[in-house]
Structure 1
């Protein structure tokens, strides 16, 4: 059953089962529905787990307990337990954004007018994040490969698809990840300053010469801190294939996800 899951879900389910087995051995109780409900209660009260984490444990335990021990994790008892856990859980503090949209847009427009590679990188990432809603991991999975990142005629749009490595990890037969088309923002046949298509083109073109070299990774200073930003260049066309897809194809290296989060959170 675990083989039907994605690797990340598989590891999560295995972790849930291991935690349940430790609880069984320490509590010295027989395997029953009452024991499972006690385990879920312990997760919330003693284990200090969030309601969403408790729900993840229910999903991980449900099928194996049903097929292996004829224990059904459903019904009134589990529903009341879930309601009780959510009712007694203290919600975490919510942070309210305290930024001026005018200042944000003015900052991005200033970056798009610059010719520096660091500024082009930051404006491209930020505008793509706004246009697509991509998380940092999805932005880091974008590539220079024209089969996955392609511009329309006259740069009317930009088609984005993550790398094959990202697809192999996150895509399933019942959950296909389709390419995303980002339209260009134009006025009088010219790209607007905050157009994500134009910003991405403006970053890709002048950075084709940048080869991956850990000893010569670029540093950009953000909020008084130096952050390493490894930048890549396309591999020769004859080497393009899904089997030898290498990190030099990435717009920003996969290891730079923390940097992307930092840029999106603090730069503007």
Structure 2
């Protein structure tokens, strides 16, 4: 892969669930070393876009290239090679409750490397130190607070030193202080480990603090990709509705609603 090429390249991505189109011609790139925040309200298409970026869904139309690999054309082995170079920290942590924190963090090393047990133990504990969980390796997930679960999940996501780190709703369910600490941790990861980080969130304060670039998504469309300052002053009513938490009035057309129900019933029948 060309070192100067974007790590993520998305062109004219379309996504459908049945007859409903979720993503409408999405275009954007993510360059090495940046923190890209994908921001939008509920139902904007953030989760669907993330699934495509992780290769969990293949594009129906358009292309998604991760680390130079077109995921629509990639073989199973090619996708496995890509996934070994990315880390994912899920919204709820997704720690395995039957395993200790240390074993959760070490799991990717057991699965994807041939390192000896002592090296794996050292590497997993080093990553726990990075996320300020040194000495917690013997605890079970049930013994951790919400913020500690997020950090343990992050340690597991970075244990193989990925080129790309995906973070899904890092601040969800956390109090403001813990959320701010996690934001600082994300910034330190970028600076210390030179990771490229993609964060999906609807939390404005967090997005403005950590982002180099923000992509604003609404109703499956990209409204703007730009710096924090440019997004804040964007001359776009939908962006300002999101930033200022203004409710959007949605007129109810009873006839159109009944017609849609009739069409869907006929399609099922």
Into which bin does the TM-score normalised by the smaller protein fall? under 0.3
How does the TM-score come out when normalised to structure 1?
Answer: 0.24
Q: Which has the higher contact order (CA 8 A, sep 6+)?
A: 2
* TM-score normalized with structure 2 length: 0.24
Bigger fraction of residues in helix? 1
